[in-house]
Each structure stands twice: as structure tokens, then as C-alpha cells.
Chains A and B, each alone.
Chain A
Amino acid sequence: MTSPILRRDLLGTAAALVGTAATLPAAEAAQISGSLPWSPSEGTPPPVEPTQPYTWEFFTADEAALVGAIADRIIPADDLSIGGKEAGCAVFIDKQLAGNYGKGTNYYLKGPYRPGTPQQGPQTLETFAQRYREGLAALVAFCASKHGGAAFTTLSAADQDALLHEMEAGAFYTGPVTSTAFFNQLIQNVREGYFADPIYGGNKDMAGWKLIGFPGARYDYRDVIGRRGEKLDLEPVGLMGRPGWNPA
């Protein structure tokens, strides 16, 4: 093989590049050379915090009430902290389902659908939004069948827990899979709502972070890393700050 590389010097190739670049279609904007791209106020900040009172974007009012009630059983209010509902978990999940997560934008949902082994992970082609719509409807029906048509939200805490335990164990189907899969989804999303940054609609007043002593969106622990094993009691900070950022 003969290599043109050997016949060209740096200046030659560089000049050739400049010469040809101008002839390329301008639409090829994703071509970068020369310097680090930069422009003012660039980047994609997290979403704007939901307003109060909140208008449901994905859930119906009944679904929202049901998810709030479930959140309160997954993370109950007690002397340690507020419950999942008050923390805003239903609002959090609503916003998630109304957005890219609910649409499954980043997930692989191409067919064909074929059931797999547990090691191969979930195989449903439904988006998370569809799974909620279907899963909540199945729970409503299951609850009605067990409690003479009563709604989940009207049950005692003990009855709600008993129902959720059955759901966790796979007592009914949502689509082609047992209710266990949807219950796992609920646990995960309720935890997310309780512990994600408050900007997403849950974790009210950083209650989840205060529960375990997580200091939040801090970026520098150099001043405390030497205090090994000490209880630090750092006040949590959210992406949009904390009350102490406002000049009183």
C-alpha cells in the first residue's frame, strides 16, 4: 500500500481541510473544529418546579388519588417524617409520566414482543405511561373485587397494606405480566419521588433527605472530609437552593 499521508505535510492537509469545509452544506452544524464551542446561557437546566395548586398532566383525579394513597403506604407518614403523598410523590410521578420517561423515549420498545427469562429483564413493549394506566386500572378492579366495589382510597391502612402485599406477590395481571412487575415499578417511582430533588415535584422541603441525613446538591466536602466518623448535620441544599440563600 502507498499512503498519501507520507506525501503530505501538516500544512497541506490543514489547508485542504479549510478549503473544503466551506463547500460542505451549512446544515452540517454538528461539525466541530478549532476551539471548544461555547455560547452564553447554554445548557439544559432541570425542569421548572410544579406550581401550586398543581394541575394533573397525566393522571385523572382518581388515578392521582390512588397513587397518592399507594405512596402513603410505600412510604407512610410516621414520627420520622411525612408520608409519600404529602411529600409530593404522586405529583412527581405524574410529571415523569407526562414527560420523556412516560413516553419511554430512551428505552428499547421495538418488537417483536416475546416473553423472556427473568435474566433477560422486562420485555413489555408498553411505555411507562401505558403501564401505569393499565396497572392502576387492574388494581382498581382487583380492589373492587376484594372489597365489594370499594375504592382503595377508602380502605383502612391495614386493608390497603394487605392488598398491596397481594399485589406484590403477583395476585393479578397487568397486561401479560403479573402485578409484581407493576408493584416494583411503583416502589421505584415512589422512592424517586421521595428522594429526588424537590424541583421534580416530590421530596417536599427536602423531607426525604432530612430523613436519612443526606445533604443534597452540595459539591464540595473538602472542609469536612477530615472529620472522619463525625456526625456532620449539614443542612440539605436543593438544585434551586435552600431558604438560607435568600437575603432575609
Chain B
Amino acid sequence: MALKRPKADAVIIGLGWAGSLMANELTMAGLNVVAIERGGWRDTSTDFPTSMDTDELRYATRRELLQPLSVETMSFRNNPGQQARPLRDFNTYQFGWGAGGAGSHWNGMTWRFLPNDFQTYSNTVAKYGKGRFVTGLTVQDWGVTYDDLEPFYDKFERYAGTSGKAGNIKGVIQPGGNVFEGARQRDYPLPPLERTRAAELFDIGAKELGLHSFPVPAGNTSGAYVNPLGIHMAPCTYCGYCEFFGCGNWSKSSPNACILPALIQRPNFTVITESEVMKVNLTPDKKMATGVTYIDKQGREWEQPADIVVISAYQMDNVRLMLLSGIGKPYDRASLTGVVGRNYANQTVSGAGVFFENENLNPFIGAGALAQSADDYNSDNFDHAKLDFIGGANMLIHSTNGRPIGSANVVPPGTPRWGSEWKKTYKDSYQVGNSIYNQGNSYPHEDVFLDLDPTYTDRFGRPLLRVTFDWNENDKRSGHFMADRAVEFGHAMNAKMVFRNEPTAKHFSPMDNLSSHTTGGAIMGDDPMTSAVNRYLQSWDVPNTFVCGASAFANNGGYNPTGTVGALTLWAAEAIKTKYLKSPGALVSL
């Protein structure tokens, strides 16, 4: 018999970006909100202060802030014909753990997806014809447009203190920003970060190739900032400890820095930490959620009743919780029916290693989102008429992570991995090596999906989530094309050595750590036959359950997902506040 807590208006599963933003909006609207977080409480000055933060082994190599794999991992296989195996070592899937979630230890690249990313299906059909989709691709429109989300992107950037340069304000192109972006109502709240030598070199290449170079929008503050909640942020100091690290001086956008200090003060908010939600409880007819069951720090089982359930764990765990709770019909590869687990996507990564001569890139000076980029080959920003794929990638050069253990492989291919030659080459490469990193669109395919593993279980004996993924034909063509662009770019930058990198030419492996940006599995859409949640992230089947996060993306953009996670969550919160509370029930009628 589970212990029972008093009923809440809303229970939130997972206090990362999505959970924090939702809790913030709902508590401001007067709701009594309880959040349940699997990891512990995390605070800047206690858990990752400047005095402890600069520890590569602890945070980057051993990944101390990430969810331990002993708590839960995924099983993986490349195709439905294989047996999945658990991922036993840290890998490309990086689950958050603790208040702030992955938002505590992300890099901070705060993108808005391009208008085409939300309507790739209809745009492609109109422009190139249906035949452009390779066999098995399940591209579909999201049910929301960029214009729907624009106010919420804006709101998220204000909360987060994003630094950047607009490229399109109300339709007026702004040179120096991303001229391909959708129209925005105003510029970023902070100007772009400082520039590095790598950015200067990137500009040389972009100029040579006639591409439009601009600074990546950064969740690293270019100056002191006060957000709309009255929370202060300090200026980024370019310490370079972002990815896998918390920010020690309140200069990286995170729930810890930007939301939780205000949220925690509200009397109608409580967070229960070190407690894991087992499932969302449903009424016997499975048409409504009654709350959640969780196991607390001491191993006791509790029930938290609530009128609204918000699932806002990591993308993969959102899908897993739906499957474990029986919310929505699971995707079935054989019959191509069902929605939960469908339209999983990753990121089509490619690029080129570049090594310069007589340079001091000073790679230890950096920030998680300190990067210069070009969007000319992203999404449908270029003409695909003569190409045989859709999508593309954002290309960037990154100034961060110049740490000695992690950089030890940044040597020209062919260098021995050990001995004096490796040592000398590493010493010589450290100041001159970098890469062009292409972060590509990823489109869902019927052979790629998430479901529950039949064999392997988590610490509580529940099935792990099973990932079935390999590059599809569109990914391979796009990856090949983009690797060519990266090589071209490397030469245009006058790099002494340029090394092509085309991971899509071989089978995907999570152990390669290409990108942590996994999306889909509980996607939004206009049709309950092909989407798990409606355009307001409301479950089609259980209307008092909302599922927030990258799990809702119908496809992945050529960008980091967090800006869009933030915008979608705020959009859903607005729908709850202005529509659902007035008339609880399905917000989209069929």
C-alpha cells in the first residue's frame, strides 16, 4: 500500500528545463505544483561552484553530473533484426540527473528551429514532390508553425539570457546575424559573446565561399543580465567548462540559474528530490490520469495525486514513462501502427578535422556556445532541386572544451595513440587543431523507433528503453554532401591539413559520442493516428497529461534542441493556462 501525499493541482515529472519552465508558469497562474525529480537538489554555489567546477576528470571524463547508468541506461541495436544490448559505459545519450536536469550541464546553444523544420513535409511536397522522400521516411508536419512559436522562443530567450545577433527582425534582414532565420520580433536580450581566433578563421573561410557567417546564439551571457523573473546572471568568463559541467558563476542559462531561485520561493511549489516516478496512474478506463506513483529516497512507495500530470523528463524517459504507464498506443514496426516510440530521430553529424600552421587557438578559452557558424546549407536554406535528399546541416567552429584529457585524440588521423610520437604530435596539435562540425537535420524512418527492452531492466526491475537506430538513406546522402562542404570549408580557411569526417558512412554507434540530441518518440501532430500528443503537447488518449520535451519533435532540426524544447513548453503552458483551466478536456477536437 503506497503512502499518499495530498493532492496537487499539477505534478511535474522531472525538473529540467521543461519541468522548471512549466512549474514556473503554472505556479504563477496560482496552481499548487509538486515536482518529482529523480536526482538530488542542485545549486550553483554548493554543487558546482567555481572552486570545484574546473575538474575535467570528475565532470567531463567521469560525468558526475549525469544520471548514472546503474540507475537506468538504454539498450541499443542498429536494426530490428538485431538483439539489443545495454549501453554499459557512458555514451552519446546524456540524461540529466538532479534539479536542472541536462539543462545544468549543457553547452548553451540556444537555437530557434527554421520555419521549414516545422513544415518539412508540406514544403517538400510542394517544392520537390513526394518522390523526394526516400523509402520509409515518415516525415510529417508538427501541427505548429514557427510563427505560432515565435512569441515563446522570445520568452525563453528572455528567461535564459541568450546572447546573439538577430538575422531577421520582423522581416528585415540584419547583416551579421543568421539571415536564414525566421522573422523574430526583436533582437536577443544580450549581444553576442566575444570572438576567438577560431571565429576569425571561420569568417575567412565563409567569406571565401560566399557563406553567411554569424555567432551561434548562446546561453552564455555576454554581460550581466536580469531576467523577467528578477533573477540576475553574471557575465560569462570564458572558462570553457560548460559541457558536462555546471556553471559556477551563474553565466550559463540553466534552470538552476534562471528559473529555480524564483520558483522555489513560491509557497505553491514543492520539489521532491531523489525520488523516481514509476508510472503515471490512470483511471480504470485509462482515459484520465489520477497522479503518479514514485519511490522516494528511502525506498518507500508514494502516490502523488494530481489533476494535471506533466511528463517532462529527458526525451527518452518521456517515451519510456508513457510506455510503462500505458498512455497511447505503442508503435509496432510490423504493422506500422501506433505512435509511442515512433518518429525517433537523432542528428546527422558530419564535418572535417582542421589543423592550422603557426596558430595559437588557445582552445582553453571558450564557452559552451561560443561558436561561429553558417546556415547556408541547413534545412531548405539551399536549393535541393538537383539533390537526392532533404535537409542539411548548420556548420560551425566551436571554441570550448580545450581540456587535456578530452583533447588527447585531437591529432591528425594516423597518429599513433601512444608513445613519444603521439606525445609530440599532441603537443603540436593542441594549439592548432579544431574542426568544422556539421549538425544536421535528422528525419524519422519507419525502421527507427523506441520501445521497451524484453530482457534488460533498470534498478527497480522495470524494462529499459530499447533504441533501434541506424542512419537512413537520406541521412547518408545528406551526411556525404555535408562532409564535402566541411572539407571545402577547411581548405577555404587555409588549414594546413583537412580531414574528412563522415560518420554516416558506417553504422551508427552511441559509443562514438557524435551528438546527444535525440528527439521524437512522443511526437506532436494533428492526427492521433500518427502523433502521440496534439499541438499543445496534450496526450490524445489521456487529456490531463502533457508531455513536454524534445520527445515532441516530429523531426530534428540541424541545431541543438533546447531552444525549441523551451518554446514548446512555454507554448503548452500557455494553452494550459488560457484554455485547459477554463475548460479541462481535449484541447483539439477531432
Contact = CB atoms under 8 A, between A and B. Distances in A.
Instruction: Tell me if chains A and B make direct contact, with any CB pair below 8 A.
Output: yes
Given A45-B52, A122-B89, A192-B405, A33 B271 contact: yes
B23 to A, nearest CB: 11
- Top 7 closest pairs, chain A to chain B, by CB: A13-B32, A116-B85, A217-B54, A195-B404, A119-B509, A106-B68, A196-B57
Contact-residue size bin, chain B (C-beta under 8 Å from the other chain)? 35 or more
B30 A10 contact: yes
A33 B91 contact: no
Contacts of B240: 221
Given A16-B6, A107-B69, A33 B55 contact: no
B403 to A, nearest CB: 7
B338 interface: no
B362 A232 contact: yes
Contacts of A101: 62
A231 B431 CA distance: 9
B275 A30 contact: yes
Given A20-B6, A120-B87, A208 B70 contact: no
Contacts of A24: 5
A149 interface: no
A212 B50 contact: no
A42 B200 CA distance: 42
Contact of B365 (A32, A161, A196, A225): A225
Interface string B247-271: 0110000000000110011011111
B197 A34 contact: no
A74 interface: yes
A18 B119 CA distance: 47
Contact of B427 (A73, A197, A211): A211
Contact of A208 (B40, B404, B418): B404
Main secondary structure of the interface of A (DSSP, over half): loop
A24 to B, nearest CB: 7
A114 B298 CA distance: 33
A32 B511 CA distance: 36
A227 to B, nearest CB: 8
A101 B360 CA distance: 35
A41 B430 CA distance: 37
Contacts of A195: 56, 403-405, 408
5 contacts: A119-B509, A195-B404, A195-B405, A219-B241, A224-B362
B382 interface: no
Contacts of A3: 307, 581, 584
A125 B307 CA distance: 43
A9 B78 contact: no
B272 interface: yes
Contacts of B419: 73-74, 76, 161
Interface stretch (B158-166, B231-239, B477-485): B231-239
Interface of A: 1-6, 8-10, 13-14, 16-18, 20-21, 24-25, 27-38, 42-46, 73-76, 78, 80-81, 101, 104-110, 112, 114, 116-124, 161, 164, 168, 187, 190-192, 195-197, 200, 208-209, 211-222, 224-226, 228-232, 239
Among A36, A42, A108, A232, the one with the most B-chain Cβ atoms within 10 Å of its Cβ is A108
Contacts of A17: 6, 32, 267-268, 270
Contacts of A221: 237-240, 364-365
Contact of A219 (B53, B83, B235, B261): B53
A201 B47 CA distance: 23
A218 B404 contact: no
B86 interface: yes
Contact of A239 (B52, B69, B85, B267): B52
Given A108-B73, A212-B430, A218 B54 contact: yes
Interface in B323-370: 359-362, 364-365
Contacts of B32: 8, 10, 13-14, 16-17
Chain A CB within 10 A, most for which of B40, B241, B261, B362: B362
Nearest to A231: B360
B430 A35 contact: no
A237 to B, nearest CB: 8
Contacts of A218: 54, 239, 364
Nearest to B32: A13
B360 A232 contact: yes
Contacts of B320: none
Nearest to B199: A228
B43 A219 contact: no
A225 B269 CA distance: 41
B269 A33 contact: yes
A2 B584 contact: yes
B243 to A, nearest CB: 16
B582 to A, nearest CB: 8
A32 B41 contact: yes
Nearest to B405: A195
Given A31-B271, A107-B70, A36 B55 contact: no
B423 interface: yes
A75 B76 contact: no
A88 to B, nearest CB: 13
